[in-house]
Amino acid sequence: MPRIMNLETDPHDRFGDEVPFALHELFYSRTDPRGVIQAGNEIFRRVSGYDWSELIGAPHKIVRHPDTPKGVFRLLWDAIQKGHPMGAYVKNRAKNGGWYWVFAVLLPIDGGYLSVRLKPVSELSGRIQKFYSELSARERDETLDPEQSVAILRAQAEASGYASYTAFMAYALSLELAERDRQLRRAVDARTSMLGEMNEAMAKLTKEQIGLLRSFEALQSVPNNMRIVASRLEPSGGPVSAISENYKASSVVISERLRQFVAGRDNLCAQMAWQVARALFLLGCSRVLPEMNREFREEETHEKIDFAEERTLLAQLEVKGISDARAAMLSAADFAAQMTQQSRDIRRQMLGLDTIRVLGRVECGRMRDSSEGLSATIDQLDSFHDDIKSRLEAIMRLSEVVKHSLTRYLRLEQAAA
């Protein structure tokens, strides 16, 4: 499992008591594009402590708790405004000053946004609660703006082994769904288990990507070091100079290939990670929405809320979410296939560099006593080459795991349909 920050649970609260609600209960609310509440369910009304007359037409921030970092809301808002689903742990505040934690799933819809929220119970949720407490305190004490807070949140996701905050929240959602099923004594859902497996594979893939980039960057200085050594060994260093120039020239093509592969905003690894995270989050939503829809059948009618209309909307979103997730999974599978092929291509190109490296080792042996500096440089090349090839192998293997899991999930979905 990817490493999560070692944080304590149950932070001290500065306000009132926790407002209880049952594990099986789900919150629902729908807003207009400005975040003004248009509809909700009885659980939302009851736990928040407000009357419908106070909620309908009010901004959703009426339940915002100051212990939820501003950066969390900035991340949520940025995502849904761009048409992307997003999730987050959120601490809400009730009318009486009490508080309650939720994992919120937010979806953009025609005419606004929709949120379904569940009770977070995983081990991760406790750690995030402590992290939020510390970050919100920093926001106050250091007057951090939302963008600075966002940077800290993203760094936390990366430190936990994820390529993006979306990927981290997709992982969190899969954890919450699995633990919720366990505590409610529900049968293990194979699809939810697969979501967790794919998230872990993607986290490992991201780790290999970062390691590959670091080895690649370190490798760039070696040909220069070889030329410096060659200049000190003249005239016997003439062949070494030629070897270093050949190595540098041959590595230029690989350098560009590796940059496209692992560096920059639109690198192949990042594109695949984004598509997988989006697909996994949408698939997690497809678990939550039908349950929320079933809960609506027990809602009492209210003059300001047409619950039949809300049920229709949820059903439409469920169908759309599954379709969008399938499209994202197919795209991610295509990226996985590209990654496997490009890894193979780069590995073949590395064989050419290996040949030049061996020539350097031969020349080093010819010089004997005068080649101590050259020998150390060749040793560096040996180390970097081995590391790069090892990581390329790992990326190929993990890409195949992700592709296989995506394909297997699609088959499972088709069988269930």
Q: Is the pLDDT of residue 138 over 80?
A: yes
Higher pLDDT, 317 or 257: 317
pLDDT tier for residue 1 given thresholds of 50, 70 and 90: very low
Helix, strand, coil share of the chain (percent; to 5): 70, 10, 20
Residue 300 has what pLDDT? 72
pLDDT tier for residue 3 given thresholds of 50, 70 and 90: very low
What percentage of the chain exceeds 90 in pLDDT? 37
Residue 15 has what pLDDT? 56
- Enumerate residues 6+ apart whose C-beta is below 8 A from 185: none
* Residue length of the chain: 417
The 10s digit of each residue's pLDDT in 8-62 is 334 444 557 999 999 999 999 999 999 999 999 999 999 999 999 999 999 999 9
Give how far the C-alpha of residue 350 lies from the chain's centroid of Cα atoms, to the nearest Å: 30
The 10s digit of each residue's pLDDT in 309-347 is 888 999 898 888 888 888 888 888 888 888 888 888 888
Q: Indicate the domain borders of the chain.
A: 27-153, 190-416
Sign of the C-alpha dihedral, residues 254, 257, 258, 263? positive
CATH class of domain segment(s) 27-153: alpha beta
Higher pLDDT, 262 or 29: 29
Residue 371 has what pLDDT? 61
Q: Is the pLDDT of residue 195 over 80?
A: no
Chain position carrying tokens 């829809």:
293
Q: Is the pLDDT of residue 307 over 70?
A: yes
Highest mean pLDDT among 125-134, 362-371, 401-410: 125-134
What would the two tokens of residue 42 be? 């009885």
Measured distance CA(409)–CA(400) in Å, rounded: 14
- Enumerate residues 6+ apart whose C-beta is below 8 A from 119: 21, 22, 23, 25, 101, 102, 103, 180
Higher pLDDT, 234 or 354: 354
Q: Is the pLDDT of residue 266 over 70?
A: no
Residue 87 has what pLDDT? 95
pLDDT tier for residue 265 given thresholds of 50, 70 and 90: low
Measured distance CA(71)–CA(75) in Å, rounded: 6
Residue 14 has what pLDDT? 52
Bridge partner list, 59: 36
